Every structure is written in structure tokens, then in C-alpha cells.
Chain A
Amino acid sequence: MNGDDTLQLERFEQQRDEAAFHALYRSHTPRLYALAMRLSAGSRSDAEELVQQAWVRAIQRLDRFERRSSLRTWLSGILVNCYREQSRRRGRAPLELDEETRPRAAATIAEFPPRLSQADPIDVERALARLADGYREVVVLVDVNGCSHREVSEMLGISEGTSKSQLARGRARLRELLSDRPRSGTRRGTS
């Protein structure tokens, strides 16, 4: 943990009041919110619900935080688990592979990393949002947030091998989605 995290955490543990929580919240929520937005495919209401659930659970379980990882990683893991519980409640299976894309994805594993250089950030965000849940989780955690496969395996309760194969398939699917994207108009200003 970095020094700021330690200070904020110690202050919160001592005081357990709103002011101490707000300091923690403001340090970590922008990152949690970005992760929640991407996991929930851009649904603002779902993202807000996830962030709220994650903070409640984190404060409830703060005494279990062993400080082996950064507070940020620990909070991200809690949020990912909240997302997976939410998915299960809604009948989605986060790790279910898209059967239609499986063969093609497997065939392109050797081609990684994806060449996305022609894509602009808006198209990439949209393509991410259209990925199947299981792919999106791993691609967002590894490629966007910079998590290691070990961290992803701990967060998602999967093996590192599964994390790697999901990443490979997710990247392949992402590239497919980007290759046949339509050009958008006014709102993003490119045409």
C-alpha cells in the first residue's frame, strides 16, 4: 500500500466517521466507477449500484484486509465479485463462452496482441461494452486496468490459464467487433 492509502485507512479505522470515509471514497471511487461502468457495459445505474455495494462490503470486511495487495486492488476485487453476483442474480453467466466465436477466437490466439491502431477510443469503448461478460471482465481487468493474471485469477476465482485464454478470446472478439464497426457521426465529431 502506498503512504496515502495507509494514512487514510488508519484514519478511517480510528475514526469511522463520514469525513474519514469521504477521504477514502474520493481517492478510490473514480477508478472503481470506471471499472464498474465497463463491467456493466456502460449502464450508469448498474455502475452506481456496484460501487455502492462494493463500498458497503469493503467497510463491512475491512478487518479482513490483510494488506498483501494494494487497497485499490482489494477494492477492485470486491467490486468484481459484486458484479458477478449481480450477473448471477440476473441469470447471466459471466464465464460462459460465446459458442459462435469460440472456434474463431481459438484460431487467432497466435495473432495476439490485437492490432487496434485504427480504432478510436469511442469505438473501443463501444466494442468493449458489446463483449460477452466473461471476455469483458478479463479484457478490462488486464488490458485496461493493468491487472496481472494472478490478480484476475484471485478476483474471479478462476485459474491463471483460464484468465489467459479468456483474454485471448476476448481480444479476438474485440478485434472482430472493431473490424465491422460503422462510423459514427456528430456526437463524437468524426465523420
Chain B
Amino acid sequence: MKDDSHDAGGPPQSGELSSLPREMQPPPELERKVTEELRRRGLIGTASQPRSRSGQPFAALARTGLAAAASLVLVAVGFLLGRATAPELPAPGAAQTQRPTLYALSLFETDGFQRAEGAGALERYQEYSRWVAEARSREQFVTGEDLTVDRGWLLAPMADAEPGVSPPASASLSGIFFITADGEQQALELARQLPHLQHGGYVVMQEVIPTDAPPRLQ
């Protein structure tokens, strides 16, 4: 695909765009899905029973495809049901069931954290994404968000909010709430009403960077 007409303002120097990866590894199961769909439609045959170029697929192949499709539907329904119920927290004191316990992993950085910049940032993202993909493949991943670190508010007991994202060193992370607001002030207003502050706790408020459409590189 040779670019022969970049004349919408001269030759591109947008190196960040042209250097983005043009390839991403698809999930391994996609190959199986596509192959099964092609078989189901009679567009390809198996290795031992290649599809005739002009005729219909073999009847046995069609039956196999239908059975596979039915299995896929069942798997998909099961997966959706699982997703719909998995994130629910068990009620305190509820009888233990087979449902997995929900855990929060909170990530911290200190001055000693090895930060990545520029192209290294993409590699770092891919590194974290591989961890997510692995956790997802085990059906253990629920959600994850990226937080701003250079803008935030520290709410302390009996004090007004101050810019900052670092609670006292002795503070232990004891809970996470996600809220929505039409801006920082509205969010702060709600944060100030948290009972946690009245009990001597600290609250750090950070904006969640929209990750509804992250690169999700494999």
C-alpha cells in the first residue's frame, strides 16, 4: 500500500502515527472461530475432506459445523452469564458458595519506580496488557483503570481538600469507590461527604483516565 498522495498538507512527519504497530496478535481462539465459521458455511473443507470448488460441503461436515456452532452458542451464553454474575460481591456473612472472591489490586509508585517514556511506554503497556490477557484467559480479570498521577486531591480528616495524591506514609489502602461527576468540583463535593473522613480516614481522589477504548495490545 504505497502512499503516493500525501498532499493534504505536505508529507507526513507524524512519526508517532506511522510508527504505531501495524500488526497486533489476535487472540488465539479467533483462528478457531473463523475456521469453524468458514466450515459451517461450507467455504472450506477439512484437511482430509477438502471442499469441492463448485459443490456444496459434505453433509457430515455441515453436521459437524452445526454442532460446533451450537456448542459455541452454549459457551457464549455461559460466558455471558458468568460475566454478569462474577463481579458481584458476596454479602457479608453470606454462606460461602463456589463463586470466586473479588480482590482489588492497587498499584503504587514510589520515587524508585522504574518509569518508561516514549517508545518504552508502549512496551510497558504491552507488558501490562499481557498480564491482563493472561488473567483474562483464566477468567480472573474483572476490570482495570489507569489513574492520573500528576493531578488529584488529598482529603484529610477535619481539613479541606488539597492538591496531591499521596496520603501519609502510614496510611493503608482500605477501600476503593468509583463515582461519576460532571467535573472535579462535583466529584470533590461527593468525596467530602464520605463517612470515611469523619472517622479519621484519608481519601485520595484521582481522575480515571478513560480506558473504554485503550489500545489493548496483545
Chain B interface, number of residues (Cβ within 8 angstroms): 79
**Measured between alpha carbons, how far is A124 from B213 in the docked complex, in Å?**
12
User: Is A33 positioned at the interface, with any CB of B under 8 Å from its CB?
Assistant: yes
- In contact, A125 and B214 (Cβ under 8 angstroms): yes
B33 at the interface (CB under 8 A from A): yes
What is the 8 Å Cβ interface bit string for chain B, positions 14-40, against chain A (1 contact, 0 not)? 111111111111110011011101110
Q: Collect the chain A residues with CB atoms within 8 Å of residue B18's CB.
A: 143-144, 146
Further pairs besides A16-B52, A20-B44, A37-B215: 20, Cβ < 8 Å: A25-B31, A25-B34, A25-B35, A30-B24, A37-B24, A42-B212, A56-B43, A113-B10, A120-B121, A126-B213, A129-B215, A142-B12, A143-B17, A145-B1, A149-B6, A184-B147, A186-B109, A188-B146, A191-B113, A191-B115
Contact across chains for A190 and B214 when beta carbons are under 8 A apart: no
Cα of A25 to Cα of B159 in the assembled complex, Å: 61
User: Which residues of B are in contact with A by a Cβ distance under 8 Å?
Assistant: 1-27, 30-31, 33-35, 37-39, 41, 43-47, 49-53, 107-109, 113-122, 124-125, 128, 144, 146-151, 206-207, 209-216
Q: How many angstroms between the C-alpha atoms of A25 and B43 in the bound complex?
A: 14
Chain A residue numbers with a CB within 8 Å of B22 are 31, 34, 144-146
What count of chain A residues pass the 8 Å CB interface test?
78
Q: How far is the CB of B83 from chain A (nearest CB, A)?
A: 11
Do residues B116 and A190 form an inter-chain contact, with CB atoms below 8 A? yes
Residues of B within 8 A of A31 (CB): 22-23
- A residues within 8 Å of B by Cβ? 13, 15-22, 25-26, 29-31, 33-34, 37, 41-44, 47-48, 51-52, 55-56, 59-60, 70, 72-73, 76, 109-117, 119-122, 124-126, 129-130, 139, 142-151, 160, 164-165, 167-168, 171, 182-191
